[in-house]
């Protein structure tokens, strides 16, 4: 039910199917999910402190009155609580104990819904929606408000340093070829995309020591999204969504493979590979590449 609500509110507009989806769009959709709507925390009256936060968030244009007025009372409160989660480190307002407990509860539910969405919503083949969900999940986890703001990047780097972890320095490599043979990619055959994410910040094997021993499993992880670029007027499609997990801080390369069926029509096709950190704000890579399909029988 929660994913149905999320899908309904994030569904691409037919006139602009590849339009970017923002963080507020995802938070707005989360606020309407049944799991959050059934939470007693969003049914309580807004406290003076939460009202003060609303006034502040409107004053800095993080939300607009039009966005809030379109919501039910419970959705309104849930959205404010989720926004406070992201903005509390730059906001002068301190919540009262009841509102602070409410935002923690709502965030726990939202985080669970986003985890489900990252695993199950790729079946919709929506690209921008999936990217926005991944980005929002990291912001909620980090209690930061932006992937591009310099202060957010500084705070993210500081959190890594305090945890004894290096800041990611990455190089993305990708190649596309026939799945079962060398040579041309034939129409209707399987295509293989080989992906290498080089961790230039990997620790030397002999220097991992205490940092590796103390680091939690999956202390560093990424999402790999492969997008099929289509001609103007045709929505792009999400061909694959895969997690890439680092379990050893000395690991230099993360590898992945994606297979999909080549188009039936011969011609040149374009792909876009997205890498988004699942743990660090502001870490994102993108690479475009092409492949050519020639007419011929399928090769499995």
Q: What is the DSSP string of 173-187?
A: EEEEEESSSSSPEET
Q: What is the pLDDT of residues 25-42, one digit of tens each?
A: 999 999 999 999 999 989
Could you tell me the CA-to-CA distances from 107 to 80, 139, 233 in Å, in that order? 11, 11, 37
Q: Are 61 and 38 in contact (CB under 8 A)?
A: no
Q: Are 169 and 200 in contact (CB under 8 A)?
A: yes
CA distance 300 to 298: 6
Q: Are 276 and 172 in contact (CB under 8 A)?
A: no
Q: What distance lies between CA 203 and its chain's CA centroid?
A: 26
Residue 232 has pLDDT above 90, yes or no: no
Query: Could you tell me the pLDDT band of residue 207, with boundaries at 50, 70 and 90?
Result: low
Could you tell me the CA-to-CA distances from 130 to 113, 141, 186 in Å, in that order? 13, 17, 30
Please give the pLDDT value at position 206: 63
Residue 166 has pLDDT above 90, yes or no: no
Q: What's the rounded mean pLDDT across residues 222-229?
A: 97
* Stretch (H or E) spanning 130: helix 127-142
Please give the pLDDT value at position 222: 97
Q: What's the rounded mean pLDDT across residues 163-168?
A: 88
Q: What's the rounded mean pLDDT across residues 60-83?
A: 96
Q: Are 92 and 100 in contact (CB under 8 A)?
A: no
CA nearest to 30, candidates 60, 7, 63 = 7
Q: What's the rounded mean pLDDT across residues 156-183?
A: 90
Alpha helices, DSSP H, located in 143-231: 150-162, 209-214
Residue 297 has pLDDT above 70, yes or no: no
Q: What's the rounded mean pLDDT across residues 272-286?
A: 96
Tokens representing residue 264 in the block: 């039936």
Q: What's the rounded mean pLDDT across residues 113-132?
A: 95
Mean pLDDT of the chain: 92
Quick one: what percent of the chain has pLDDT higher than 90?
A: 85
Q: Are 249 and 203 in contact (CB under 8 A)?
A: yes
Query: Could you tell me the pLDDT band of residue 210, with boundaries at 50, 70 and 90?
Result: low
The pairing of beta strand 284-294 with beta strand 185-186: parallel
Domains in the chain, please, with CATH? Answer: 2-145 (1.10.3380.10), 165-294 (2.60.40.150)
Q: What's the rounded mean pLDDT across residues 56-84?
A: 96
CA nearest to 174, candidates 243, 273, 244 = 273
């Amino acid at each position: 039910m929660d994913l149905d609500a999320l899908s309904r509110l994030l569904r691409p507009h037919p006139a602009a199917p590849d339009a970017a989806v923002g963080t507020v769009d995802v938070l707005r959709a989360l606020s309407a999910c049944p799991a959050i709507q059934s939470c007693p925390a969003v049914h309580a009256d807004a406290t003076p402190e939460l009202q003060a936060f609303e006034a502040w968030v409107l004053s800095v244009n993080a939300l607009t009155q039009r966005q809030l007025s379109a919501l039910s009372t419970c959705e309104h409160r849930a959205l404010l609580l989720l926004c406070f989660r992201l903005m509390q480190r730059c906001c002068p307002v301190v919540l009262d104990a009841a509102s602070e407990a409410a935002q923690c509860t709502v965030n726990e539910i939202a985080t669970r819904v986003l985890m489900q969405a990252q695993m199950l919503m790729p079946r919709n083949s929506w690209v921008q929606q999936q990217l926005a969900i991944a980005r929002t999940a990291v912001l909620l986890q980090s209690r930061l408000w932006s992937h591009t703001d310099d202060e957010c990047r500084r705070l993210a780097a500081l959190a890594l340093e305090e945890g004894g972890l290096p800041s990611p320095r990455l190089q993305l490599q990708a190649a596309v070829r026939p799945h079962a043979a060398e040579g041309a990619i034939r129409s209707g055959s399987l295509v293989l995309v080989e992906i290498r994410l080089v961790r230039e910040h990997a620790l030397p094997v002999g220097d991992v020591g205490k940092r590796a021993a103390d680091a939690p499993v999956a202390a560093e992880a990424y999402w790999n999204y492969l997008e099929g670029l289509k001609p103007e007027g045709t929505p792009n499609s999400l061909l694959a969504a895969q997690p890439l997990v680092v379990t050893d801080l000395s690991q230099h390369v993360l590898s992945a493979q994606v297979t999909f069926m080549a188009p039936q029509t011969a011609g040149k096709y374009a792909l876009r590979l997205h890498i988004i950190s699942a743990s660090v704000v502001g870490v994102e890579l993108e690479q475009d590449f092409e492949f050519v399909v020639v007419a011929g029988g399928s090769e499995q």
